[in-house]
Amino acid sequence: MVGCGRPSAGHREPRGLGGVPDIGQQIAAICEGTSFRIVAQQPLTDGEWESLRGLGGLRELVVERGVATDSRADILATLPDLERLVLRESPLGDVGFGRLAACVKLRDLNVPRAACTAAGIRALAGLEHLRSLRIGSDRLAGAEACAAVAALPHLRTLHLVDVPIGDEGLRALISCAGLWTLYLDGAGVSDGAWTEYFGARPHVHVHVDQAHHDRDPARGHD
């Protein structure tokens, strides 16, 4: 299996920061069936990225530091079992999002510093299992971005990080009929638009700029 190289007998791999196993150990555990996740606390080297290619059994990948560019998305697209992907510092663009569309089991995508446009979000529309999206990009704004989100058919949780959607963007999100939770930072939405939104979607749990919206029906339950 690609990416399943193991250390030779008797050799102990060094541990990463904070006692977290290094990437080689984490890959070995996945190949042995004793783990399903990789957490990279430091930037991955080219070789480490390549060792992930085609890695079956990897269901959760968290890259805390370091850039995963569109070219790295070629590798992500080869992960047949990927369900959760976190890229904290990665300016993934429209090309990269298009490649993520190959991750057919993806259910949770967290890319708070992306560089995509609405076209990148639209590329995810075929992901039938995608339930949670947390995304930020200075190329996303207004009704177009929100209409792209609304086209994700099974979304339950949405967090737009510093995306200025404005009133028209919030109106576009009304068509997200299956949404349970909505988190908006820097959205720039008026009280009137919120009145309209809650009138249409009274049961959605809403946070605005890290705090409950005062009309949120669940605000007393956190």
91: domain CATH number?
3.80.10.10
Residue 20 and residue 101 in one domain: yes
Residue 98 and residue 147 in one domain: no
> Comparing 216 with 97, which gets the higher pLDDT?
97
Query: Residue 207's pLDDT is what?
Result: 97
CA distance 157 to 163: 16
Angle at 174 between CA 173 and CA 177, to 5 degrees: 100
Does 21 map to a domain? yes
Task: Give, as one character, the DSSP assignment of residue 17.
Answer: G
- Check: CB of residue 215 under 8 Å from CB of residue 193: no
- Check: CB of residue 103 under 8 Å from CB of residue 77: yes
| Number of Cβ within a 10 Å radius of residue 203 | 10
Check pLDDT > 90 for residue 194.
yes
The CB-side HSE value for 196 (13 A sphere, CA atoms) comes to 14
The structure tokens 């988190």 sit at: 183
CA distance 188 to 11: 56
What pairing do the DSSP bridges indicate for beta strands 205-208 and 181-184?
Answer: parallel
Check pLDDT > 90 for residue 6.
no
pLDDT band (50, 70, 90) for residue 219 = low
Q: For 19-78, what is each residue's pLDDT tens digit? A: 679 999 999 999 999 999 999 999 999 999 999 999 999 999 999 998 888 999 999 999
Check pLDDT > 50 for residue 15.
no
Count of domains in the chain? 2
Check pLDDT > 60 for residue 17.
no
Query: Residue 212's pLDDT is what?
Result: 74
Does 136 map to a domain? no
CA distance 121 to 112: 13
Per-residue pLDDT averaged across 149-177, rounded? Answer: 97
CA distance 149 to 158: 9
pLDDT band (50, 70, 90) for residue 210 = confident
Check pLDDT > 60 for residue 14.
no
The CB-side HSE value for 73 (13 A sphere, CA atoms) comes to 20
pLDDT averaged over every residue in the chain? 90
Does 173 map to a domain? yes
Residues pairing with 40 in the sheet: 63
Check pLDDT > 80 for residue 106.
yes
CA distance 212 to 36: 34
State the residue range of the domain holding 209. Answer: 141-222
